[in-house]
């Protein structure tokens, strides 16, 4: 089996060089699926999802990501959690392969990941719509005022920061099971407390 750190480096290369995240990751995952058994496939799939999240959280922290690219990465994440879910369902067909507690724990993770990704996508689509509406309604004088604004040094103009409680994962482990973060309600981010969500001073 290929080591996961090697898998991570390949995945990073695809995310960096391939604009079609979805098909690139699909090809990569399929190639690994053809060479490994069920448990290794499950491990690789889950690790790939974690690395994708880690990658776009890194880009967000650097303020170096556009909304279209972000949505593509979320689509890829949804693709992988679906792969994971289908893999576990296939394993469950043979009761000797996986215990019910393991099965249920993976399903819980799947549901949290899918809910988180879908919520993020909806939020981003709303931001795109709101931004277009604001840009269309701004006058020249208002544009001049925007130029005098100072970008918030805490959130770098985003208006939100990674949740300090869950560190941007949206989940927390309680009693041995993954649960939604109570502070950000699985949104991964909270409103910046320096600029009150405006992104500027």
Q: What is the pLDDT of residue 159?
A: 79
Q: What is the pLDDT of residue 1?
A: 39
The pLDDT profile of the chain, 201 residues, written as one tens digit per residue, is 345 555 556 555 655 555 555 555 566 566 655 655 555 665 665 566 665 666 555 555 555 555 556 566 666 656 665 666 666 666 655 544 455 555 555 555 556 656 666 666 666 666 656 655 555 555 444 544 555 677 776 776 777 787 777 777 777 766 666 677 777 777 777 888 778 888 776
Q: What is the pLDDT of residue 161?
A: 80
Q: What is the pLDDT of residue 163?
A: 79
- Is 184:165 a contact under the CB 8 Å cutoff? yes
Q: What is the pLDDT of residue 66?
A: 55
Q: On the CB side of 68, how many CA atoms lie within 13 Å of its CA?
A: 2
């Amino acid at each position: 089996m290929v080591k996961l750190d090697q898998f991570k480096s390949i995945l990073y290369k695809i995310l960096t060089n391939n604009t079609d995240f979805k098909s690139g990751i699909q090809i990569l995952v399929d190639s690994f699926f053809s060479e490994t058994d069920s448990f290794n496939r499950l491990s690789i799939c889950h690790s790939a999802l974690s690395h994708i999240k880690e990658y776009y959280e890194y880009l967000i922290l650097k303020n170096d990501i556009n909304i279209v690219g972000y949505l593509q990465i979320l689509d890829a994440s949804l693709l992988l959690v679906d792969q994971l879910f289908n893999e576990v369902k296939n394993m469950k067909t043979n009761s000797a392969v996986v215990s019910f507690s393991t099965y249920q724990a993976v399903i819980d993770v799947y549901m949290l990941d899918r809910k988180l990704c879908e919520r993020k996508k909806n939020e981003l689509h709303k931001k795109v719509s709101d931004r277009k509406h604001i840009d269309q309604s701004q006058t020249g004088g208002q544009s001049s005022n925007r130029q005098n604004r100072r970008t918030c040094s805490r959130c770098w103009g985003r208006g939100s920061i990674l949740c300090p409680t869950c560190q941007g994962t949206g989940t927390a482990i309680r009693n041995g099971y993954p649960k939604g973060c109570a502070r950000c309600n699985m949104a991964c981010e909270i409103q910046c407390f320096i600029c009150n969500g405006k992104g500027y001073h």
